[in-house]
Amino acid sequence: MPAVIQVDVDSGVEAAQATGADVSNTNGAATVNGIHKRVNGVNGVNGTNGLNGFHGRADTWPGSGATRPSSRSSSTGTVNGNQTGSFAADPHDPHENEAGGPRSRPFAHIRTWADDPKTAAFPRISKPMELMRHAYDCVVIGSGYGGGVAASRMARAGKHVCLLERGKERWPGEFPSGTTDAVEQLHYSGQFAPAWLPKKIVHGGDPTGMYHLIFGNGQNAIVGNGLGGTSLINANVFLEADEDVLQFEQWPKEIREKKGCLNEYYAKAAAVLEPEEYPKDWPRLPKLDLLKRQAQYLNMSEKFHRVKQTTRFRNGPNSCGVEMSASASTGQDATGLNDGSKTTTLVTYLADAWNWGADMFCESEVRYITKSPNNDGYIVYFAWHGGNRGHFKANFHEDLMWVHAREAVFLGAGAIGTTEILLRSKQMGLKMSDKVGQNMSGNGDMLAFG
Ligand SMILES: Cc1cc2nc3c(=O)[nH]c(=O)nc-3n(C[C@H](O)[C@H](O)[C@H](O)COP(=O)(O)OP(=O)(O)OC[C@H]3O[C@@H](n4cnc5c(N)ncnc54)[C@H](O)[C@@H]3O)c2cc1C
């Protein structure tokens, strides 16, 4: 059992840490138990020079170029290019059968990196908790776009970065591919409040599972949970915000009053995420055709275009040196894409942060932040789900660990996760605006599964 010692928070949590004992805080009650071990010089401890390990994997894909039966054309009402249904599809382009192209892999079984015994245990970029240092220049919470960008840029600026992510690290090939796997990855919490039932606070499933369903009175939300955040399960659409929307009073004055001020940042994001349109010489997509026809019926043909998406349509390393594969068009993008074609933050900003020495820790759920007792930054308190600690539910959120952020904490736990951490921190004494938690809205009206 870890030692349990009493800490006077005012005299400095680090003093307790220096004993080598685990330190946590029982919701501010200043009791301590702890697991942190001070380990120096741990960069690259995973040892396997991870990302380089991915180069050359493309060679393991089937690349014979042999034609397979086209389930696309039959299901879309065409056979061998002849129209049998309500719309026509072109004969497929020669590019399709090229190595790595959409038809170079059998439909029956989409091979993934994890299928290859040589690479099944591919390297990780997150570290075991034992390797966490007691203090960093910056602590980043969450690993989606917000957290990923902060970690990468701070690490590049020469800061010692610690990133804490509640979910697990999974790479293509390890995401759920069936309903049973997916249900096991579900985590739900919040106020379950359909109109016909009494409101009820609910909490269940695996808190480190990939899909977090958050119930609320009037609105529910789904977010991704894992190293890569919601970029692991989003729909890959890369669109810039409409200038009219940026005129809403909820936006900061600096954005409202300076039209186009975000353009240089879109360009920076595009340079990393490398969005591309669905190629014109790839198989026709029935849904795309249908949308085009609908635009015609609405006299909006001129507005119809293929949006850029953070999907790869060719093999090869991405902007951050991670080997990617061309899309196999599996449609698994919103559940976790196994074919290696999704440009998530895992394969871009986080890989980059890793490359620049950032330490990342998964299964680490941040609860709240306080000012450091010595006025040198902040203390970030978190519950660690690893090492089977999650089984000790009774006091799981009381027996917390901590890490010291000497200069800054970046909150990138998503709109809901960040607000939750801030409001809890406020309860624990951190000063902040009364507006935190107000005026939230969703980015979509409806989510449907079919
Ligand atoms: C199904 C779906 C499709 C979407 N499609 C698109 C699209 O096509 N185009 C588009 O632009 N946007 C899309 N979005 C929205 C977009 O993905 C999100 O707006 C974006 O990912 C938000 O980024 P973020 O960094 O703020 O948060 P997230 O990406 O949600 O990252 C937050 C991270 O913080 C972690 N976290 C939360 N709480 C804690 C805690 N207490 N401690 C530690 N870690 C924590 C979470 O596990 C998560 O990994 C989609 C979203 C969904 C759900």
Tens-place pLDDT, residues 51-62: 333 333 333 322
Confidence at residue 389, expressed as pLDDT on a 0 to 100 scale? 75
Tens-place pLDDT, residues 81-122: 343 333 334 444 545 555 555 555 544 455 555 556 555 556
Confidence at residue 303, expressed as pLDDT on a 0 to 100 scale? 92
Q: Which of 220, 230, 262, 349 to mutate to test the pocket of ligand 1 (most atoms within 8 A of CB)?
A: 230
Average pLDDT estimate for 195-222: 90
Average pLDDT estimate for 210-230: 93
Q: Which of 234, 342, 345, 440 to mutate to test the pocket of ligand 1 (most atoms within 8 A of CB)?
A: 234
Average pLDDT estimate for 192-196: 84
Q: Which residue, by CA, sits nearest to atom 20 of ligand 1?
A: 230
Confidence at residue 98, expressed as pLDDT on a 0 to 100 scale? 57
- Pick from 27-36, 146-155, 391-400 the range whose average pLDDT is largest: 146-155
d(CA 405, CA 134): 9
Inform me whether the pLDDT recorded for 63 exceeds 90: no
Inform me whether the pLDDT recorded for 39 exceeds 60: no
Collapsing DSSP to helix, strand or coil, 205 comes out as: strand
Whether 133 contacts 329, CB under 8 Å:
no
Confidence at residue 41, expressed as pLDDT on a 0 to 100 scale? 27
d(CA 163, CA 366): 11
Whether 119 contacts 80, CB under 8 Å:
no
Where is pLDDT greater, at 396 or 359? Answer: 359
56 Cα to the center of ligand 1, angstroms: 30
Q: Which residue, by CA, sits nearest to atom 48 of ligand 1?
A: 229
Confidence at residue 50, expressed as pLDDT on a 0 to 100 scale? 33
- Pick from 40-49, 186-195, 203-212 the range whose average pLDDT is largest: 203-212
Percent of the residues in the chain that have a pLDDT greater than 70, as a whole number: 71
Ligand 1 pocket by Cβ (under 6 Å) = 141-147, 164-167, 222-226, 229-231, 233-237, 334, 365-366, 412-414, 417, 421, 443
Q: Which residue, by CA, sits nearest to atom 24 of ligand 1?
A: 414
Alpha helices in 211-327 (DSSP H): 253-257, 263-273, 286-297
Could you tell me the pLDDT band of residue 400, with boundaries at 50, 70 and 90?
very high
Topology (CATH level 3) of domain 4-64+99-236+310-427:
FAD/NAD(P)-binding domain (3.50.50)
Confidence at residue 443, expressed as pLDDT on a 0 to 100 scale? 72
Structure-block tokens of residue 204:
């269940």
Average pLDDT estimate for 436-446: 78
349 Cα to the center of ligand 1, angstroms: 14
Confidence at residue 100, expressed as pLDDT on a 0 to 100 scale? 56
Burial 167-180 (b: 16+ CB within 10 A, else e): bbbbbbbbbbbeee
Confidence at residue 214, expressed as pLDDT on a 0 to 100 scale? 93
Confidence at residue 114, expressed as pLDDT on a 0 to 100 scale? 54
Domain boundaries along the sequence of the chain? 4-64+99-236+310-427
Which of the residue ranges 23-37, 143-157, 251-265 would you say has the lowest mean pLDDT? 23-37
Nearest one of 199, 171, 174 to 184, comparing CA atoms = 174
Judged on CB neighbours under 10 Å (0-12, 13-18, 19+), 51 is buried
Confidence at residue 2, expressed as pLDDT on a 0 to 100 scale? 31
223 Cα to the center of ligand 1, angstroms: 5
Inform me whether the pLDDT recorded for 364 exceeds 50: yes
Tens-place pLDDT, residues 278-331: 999 999 999 999 999 999 999 999 999 999 999 999 999 999 999 999 999 998
Radius of gyration, CA atoms only, the chain: 24
Where is pLDDT greater, at 376 or 89? Answer: 376
Whether 141 contacts 154, CB under 8 Å:
no
447 Cα to the center of ligand 1, angstroms: 15
Confidence at residue 56, expressed as pLDDT on a 0 to 100 scale? 31
Where is pLDDT greater, at 91 or 266? Answer: 266
pTM for the whole structure: 0.77
- Strands 378-384, 364-371: pairing is antiparallel
Structure-block tokens of residue 306:
């293929």
Collapsing DSSP to helix, strand or coil, 368 comes out as: strand
